[in-house]
Amino acid sequence: MSARAMAPEDWLVLLLARGRLSADGQAEARALLGAPLRWDLTLARAEEHEVYPLLHHHLRELGFEGVPPDARHRIEALQRASALRVTLLAEELTRVLHALAREDIPAIPLKGPALAESLYGDRTLRTAGDLDVLVRRPAGDPAPRQAIRPGVLSGADHRGQGDPGDAIPAAGRRRAR
């Protein structure tokens, strides 16, 4: 689908949902921001696709040019809440990784704050609702429950069956929508 076939609100969200915005991208964003936009739709799309941290980041870089005050307040509130959630998850991830390291259990963080830091150099530029950690268990050993303190849930049973992606802090588990 070409940019011309998209609503300008969708094109703006797509344009701003990237780590870096080129000079051409900035010029295109400014052109879109200079035209009438349905900000309720723009923000709904950013929320639906969970790219509002990047939208906020680039709109701030562009001086919130053309953004009405109510839309600016909404995206700033979304970003503040997301940044707090991601910061708390990053702190929990550090605790979990340290606990696993103390037990000499190799682990690799996946997605969430670790991915955002790797991609953007800023963990708050990506939303996160939980943590995913890949844990290698030596053959024949039971699940490394001794390394996981209370408050961390695991979808795997003692034989390692279940969804290993469910090993997340209880506080970080998303509520059903």
User: 130-177 pLDDT, tens per residue?
Assistant: 999 998 766 666 655 554 554 554 544 333 444 444 443 433 443 333
- The whole-model pTM stands at 0.75
In 3D space, the residue among 5, 85, 78, 80 whose CA is nearest the CA of residue 43 turns out to be 78
Judge whether 17 and 55 are in contact, CB under 8 Å.
yes
pLDDT along the chain (177 residues), means of 10: 80 96 96 97 97 97 97 98 96 94 90 91 94 80 54 44 42 38
In 3D space, the residue among 109, 121, 122 whose CA is nearest the CA of residue 79 turns out to be 122
pLDDT at site 24: 97
Radius of gyration of the chain (CA): 20
- Tokens standing for residue 133: 């950690």
pLDDT at site 175: 37
